[in-house]
Amino acid sequence: MAGLVRRSESYSGSVAEKSVSPGIQTAEAPAVLRRSSSATELLPAKLDDAKLKEPDTHHLDQSAHAVRDSLLHSGSGFEDFRGLYNLALLALIVSNLRMALENISKYGILVHPIQWVVPFFTDPHGVPVLAVWGIMGLCIFAALGIEKLAARKTCSATVALWLHVINSAILLIVPSAILLYYHPFLLASFIAIFENVIVWMKLVSYAHVNHWCRTKPRDNEEPPKDLVRYPQNLNSRDLLYFIAAPTLCYELNFPRVPKIRKRFLIRRCLEFVFFFILVVSLGQQWILPTVNNTFKSEHNSLVFMLERTLKLAMPNFCIWLLLFYMFFHAWLNITGELLRFGDRQFYRDWWNATSIFWFWRNWNIPVHKWAVRHVFRPLVSHGYTRLQSQIAVFLLSAIFHEVLVGVPLGIPRLWSFLAMLTQVPLAVVTERYLKGTQYGNVVMWASLLLGQPTAIMLYVKAYIDAHADDS
From CA 395, how far away is CA 398, in angstroms rounded? Answer: 5
Q: Which residues contact 237 (CB under 8 A, 6 or more apart)?
A: none
Q: Which residues contact 409 (CB under 8 A, 6 or more apart)?
A: 186, 459, 462, 463
Q: Find the angle CA(438)-CA(448)-CA(392) to the nearest 5 degrees.
A: 95
- H helix or E strand, kind and range, residue 331: none
Residue type, 318: C
- H helix or E strand, kind and range, residue 322: helix 302-324
3-class secondary structure, 15:
coil
From CA 123, how far away is CA 399, in angstroms rounded? Answer: 28
- Which candidate, 189, 249, 240, places its Cα nearest to that of 406? 189
Q: Which residues contact 392 (CB under 8 A, 6 or more apart)?
A: 375, 376, 379, 384
Indicate which residue of 125, 374, 401, 467 is catalytic: 401
From CA 336, how far away is CA 22, in angstroms rounded? Answer: 86
- Which candidate, 247, 252, 249, places its Cα nearest to that of 229? 252
Q: Answer yes or no: 211 catalytic.
A: no
Q: Which residues are catalytic?
A: 401
